[in-house]
């Protein structure tokens, strides 16, 4: 396994505080019995107690284990160990430490075990049909009620809607939850926050109202939709599909290249999006979620080439996917797959909106773009056009890495703005 760069180690850190704490431990002093093989890095780190922490890292997963009580993955000890390894401080060792070997063996045995067979009892088809009928009736009633609420809102005007208290939006969202339409409910709650906080609240609300109305129209016309279109409508209203059903369905083997990844946290739910590209150009997004007190899946390294099969959800491209099995063979690659222009990304986004008007996120593997400043706004630019940078985008990091020269960047286009996720250089890939 090629040694990771410093930026790759930074990319797997769960947060900035863990990274800062790891840098203080990334010295030979606290460590002993360190070593590495083709797929493992291990070591013991002396903490405040008498017994040192046993730290192991599986580079293929990647996966992490530490005997410390931290609930973060990777913890500061694993990050510090990776920093030492990436700097060449840890030499290859032919003798794997007992604790690392035991953990690696357990992982291999677990991966080799067959999945638990489904229970022999089969659901009652009549009961299933009745439950489905009841749910559809509840959702139909909720959509009709929501359409009346939308009509009243538009009739009253956007200015009047902005003067409504938060309870106005929360009440409408609660009715949608009761009607088993949670995704619509979340959009309504978000709108209640945006209309009071955003300077561009009027344009935002007008666009959202159009999306909501389109979603309700698509739901009422669902009998005439094909499988992919209906799948997109289900996502829009929040009718989740079982991951087990997806796992057993439309699968595609790799290799897949990790284009970039991003984590978001709205205070209630964490989301991790990992964008993958197949050799033929297909792009999918693997989504992971974690609620309060839960831990997100370990992020994959940008630029890694994964020998893994993904199962794809139905819907329009770019499709959501999940890893059918744990990824293996994370070999770094060079050269951004599918690199294209801003004009081509605009065209793909327009085509996607024509199919699914309420979907607003488009992957963008951009070739030879610069970061430029126009007035008070930072933008990403190439010979075919430019886009404003999204709020919170790491502009200065991207400028420092590129030196102001054209560079390949992968990111997302959402709400008319570009969010860079990884910069692809000649010899390495750096997550942003």
pLDDT of residue 117: 43
What confidence category does residue 368 fall into, taking pLDDT thresholds of 50, 70 and 90?
Answer: very high
Q: How far apart are the C-alpha atoms of 326 and 329, rounded to whole Å?
A: 10
d(CA 162, CA 183): 22
Distance CA 307, CA 221 (A): 41
Q: What is the signed CA dihedral for 60, 367, 362, 315, rounded to 10 degrees?
A: -60
- For residue 333, pLDDT beyond 80: no
pLDDT value, residue 214: 94
CA distance 47 to 273: 34
pTM for the structure as a whole: 0.71
**Is the pLDDT assigned to residue 190 strictly greater than 60?**
yes
Query: Which pLDDT band, with edges at 50, 70 and 90, does 268 fall under?
Result: low
Q: Which is higher by pLDDT, 134 or 216?
A: 216
List 419's β-bridge partners, or say none: 412
Average pLDDT over residues 244-256: 83
Residue 114: is its pLDDT beyond 60?
A: no
Q: What is the mean pLDDT of residues 109-116?
A: 64
What the block records as the tokens of 333 is 């690659």
Residue-wise pLDDT for 288-328, tens only, equals 877 655 666 777 888 888 888 999 988 888 889 988 887 76
Q: Can you tell me the distance from the alpha carbon of 11 to that of 19, in angstroms, rounded to the nearest whole number?
A: 10
Give pLDDT, residue 267. 64
Token pair of 97 as six digits: 């430490």
SS3 74: coil
In what order do the strands lie in the sheet containing 304-307? 251-252, 310-312, 319-323, 283-291, 269-278, 256-265, 304-307, 328-332
The DSSP symbol for 340 reads B
Helical H runs in 306-365? 342-355
Structure tokens at 416: 């008319």
Greatest Cα-to-Cα distance within the chain, rounded to the nearest angstrom: 75
342-431 folds as: OB fold (Dihydrolipoamide Acetyltransferase, E2P) (2.40.50)
Is pLDDT above 60 for 21?
yes
Do you know the residue count of the chain? 432
pLDDT band at 119 (very low <50, low <70, confident <90, very high): very low
Best CA proximity match to 68, nearest among 81, 60, 78: 78
What distance in Å separates the CA atoms of residue 380 and residue 389, rounded to the nearest whole number?
Answer: 7
Average pLDDT over residues 208-222: 93
Phi and psi at residue 180, to the nearest 5°: 60, 45
């Amino acid at each position: 396994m090629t040694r990771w760069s410093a930026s790759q180690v930074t990319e797997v850190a769960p947060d900035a505080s863990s990274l800062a704490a790891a840098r203080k431990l990334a010295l030979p002093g606290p460590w002993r019995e360190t070593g590495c093989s083709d797929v493992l890095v291990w070591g013991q780190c002396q903490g405040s107690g008498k017994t040192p922490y046993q730290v192991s890292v599986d580079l293929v997963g990647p996966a992490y284990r530490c005997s410390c009580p931290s609930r973060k993955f990777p913890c500061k000890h694993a990050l510090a160990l990776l920093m030492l390894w990436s700097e060449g401080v840890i030499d290859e060792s032919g003798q794997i430490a007992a604790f690392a070997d035991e953990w690696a063996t357990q992982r291999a045995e677990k991966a080799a075990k067959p999945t638990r067979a489904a229970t022999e009892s089969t659901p009652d088809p009549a009961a299933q049909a009745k439950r489905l009928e009841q749910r559809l009736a509840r959702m139909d009633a909720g959509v009709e009620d929501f359409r009346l609420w939308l009509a009243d809102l538009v009739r009253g005007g956007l200015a009047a809607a902005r003067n409504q208290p938060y309870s106005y939006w929360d009440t409408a969202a609660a009715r949608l939850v009761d009607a088993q339409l949670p995704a619509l409910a979340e959009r309504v709650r978000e709108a209640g926050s945006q209309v009071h906080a955003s300077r561009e609240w009027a344009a935002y609300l007008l666009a959202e109202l159009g999306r909501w109305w389109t979603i309700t129209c698509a739901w009422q016309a669902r009998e005439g939709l094909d499988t992919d279109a209906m799948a997109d409508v289900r996502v829009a209203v929040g009718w989740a599909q079982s991951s087990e059903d997806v796992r057993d369905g439309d699968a595609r083997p790799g290799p897949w290249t990790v284009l970039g990844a991003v984590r978001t946290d709205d205070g209630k739910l964490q989301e991790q999006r990992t964008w993958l590209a197949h050799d033929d150009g297909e792009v999918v997004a693997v989504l992971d979620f974690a609620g309060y007190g839960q831990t997100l899946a370990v992020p994959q390294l940008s630029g890694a080439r994964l020998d893994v099969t993904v199962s794809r959800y139905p819907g329009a491209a770019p499709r959501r996917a999940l890893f059918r099995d744990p990824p293996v063979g994370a070999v770094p690659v060079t050269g951004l797959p599918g690199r294209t222009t801003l004009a081509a990304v605009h065209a793909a986004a327009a085509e996607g909106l024509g199919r699914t008007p309420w979907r607003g996120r488009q992957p963008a593997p951009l070739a030879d773009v610069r970061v430029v400043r126009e007035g008070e706004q930072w933008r990403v630019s190439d010979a075919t056009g430019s886009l404003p940078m999204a709020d919170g985008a790491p502009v200065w990091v991207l400028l420092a890495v590129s030196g102001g020269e054209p560079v390949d960047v992968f990111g997302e286009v959402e709400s008319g703005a570009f969010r860079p996720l990884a910069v692809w250089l000649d010899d390495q890939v750096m997550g942003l």
